[in-house]
Chains A and B, each alone.
Chain A
């Protein structure tokens, strides 16, 4: 199976400051159809996961534009341009290119 490695494990951030989460895969996530199926999810405390970004950089409807995704091949990043209190939670990357789908271990974002 593909291994998805996220860093850091924990990310204390000051309100209004940027935050960046890394996600690395053990093999390229470029599918034979040319797409890269790398998604990002946010899980606020006590809630279900919510998809933020699909196919590396496409924001889901209703997701604030302070969230952005980038990367290619095996190296991907989720950035929050200015962290707000509602962004506290755990963020997961997930690959859907190779069977089976695999989630990263998660990055906990908290306010300093």
Chain B
């Protein structure tokens, strides 16, 4: 069965970077894009960007341009999302989701930014 398993919760200081991983199983990793979506506590869903695991091509929401980098390691079927220059407003649960239309989701990774 398709599974996306994300890395554990992180606590970071303002200005630091965080790298969240998303390990895929149950399907061919390179056959589907990986999207990243975040959700601040009590708020709605915010799309951040996508990556094609086959080519490595990426596309980022304008809001995150220059601060986010999405990469992958195809040998271990894992996608990564790194967000830099963290501020308190980046405190959120970060999700990876399979495909352009998000048919499977990871369990989420809570990133807390606090001094």
A residues bordering B, Cβ < 8 Å? 37, 39, 41, 43, 48-51, 54, 60, 90, 92, 94, 96, 99-106
Contact = CB atoms under 8 A, between A and B. Distances in A.
Interface stretch (B12-20, B44-52, B71-79, B82-90): B44-52
Given A49-B45, A49-B95, 16 more contacts: A39-B101, A39-B102, A41-B45, A43-B45, A48-B106, A49-B105, A51-B101, A54-B101, A92-B45, A100-B47, A100-B59, A100-B62, A101-B47, A101-B100, A103-B44, A103-B45
B30 interface: no
B44 A92 contact: yes
Interface residues of B, number: 19
A105 B95 CA distance: 17
A107 B56 CA distance: 35
B107 A48 contact: yes
Contacts, number: 50
Interface of B: 35, 37, 44-47, 59, 61-62, 95, 97, 100-103, 105-108
Contacts of B106: 48
A111 B97 CA distance: 29
Contacts of B35: 101
Contacts of A96: 100-101
A105 B44 contact: yes
